Copies of this chain bind each other. A is one copy, B any other.
């Protein structure tokens, strides 16, 4: 469908140039449509941008639901979360780039430039991860610390490491890199003695 094609084109253009530097004409050219046609589907550049954002966030959230949030065992869920966030980001660095940015940026035009949908998904994501943490704490496999803060620490680690991988290349195989980070994060989350640290990462 045309709407879809335009979104795809817009995603490429926004990721390439950022919101400010991207022009509607670039999107139109990339999508092989006329400028006017873009406006038949999206009421403004801003709205188009927001739909791109929301779609990206939805895709990422759907993946997490399937691979992480449906896992009842907290330890398995945590490991899955770490892997998905690190590997997925590696495979979809563009999308990651965007998903990472669910936070205000100095380059951003407005304090909260992200669409409400997007913000809401982020809140739900945090809630879901927090729930995993709480479950793990209840079963005494995770440390007894503030689960929200633990969630945020995890989230921060994902972001900065993903950014680091995106910006610096690395010769080390992905699996090894992921293993190294997993060891650290499990050490942060898991109770000492709870299968931590060595055998955790096998």
Contact = CB atoms under 8 A, between A and B. Distances in A.
Contacts of A105: 18, 101, 105-108
A115 to B, nearest CB: 13
A187 B137 CA distance: 15
A110 B21 CA distance: 8
A109 B20 CA distance: 6
A58 interface: no
B108 A180 contact: no
Interface residues of A, number: 50
A-side interface mostly: helix
B152 A18 contact: no
A128 interface: no
Interface string A64-106: 0000000000000000000000000000000001100101111
B108 A18 contact: yes
A97 B107 contact: no
Number of copies: 4
A160 B161 contact: no
Contacts of A195: none
A55 interface: no
Given A109-B18, A193-B192, A155 B145 contact: no
Q: Which 3 A-B pairs have the closest CB atoms?
A: A156-B156, A107-B107, A188-B188
Given A20-B109, A105-B108, A152-B157, 15 more contacts: A14-B106, A16-B111, A18-B105, A19-B107, A97-B106, A98-B106, A145-B187, A146-B180, A152-B160, A153-B160, A153-B161, A153-B185, A155-B156, A156-B159, A159-B159
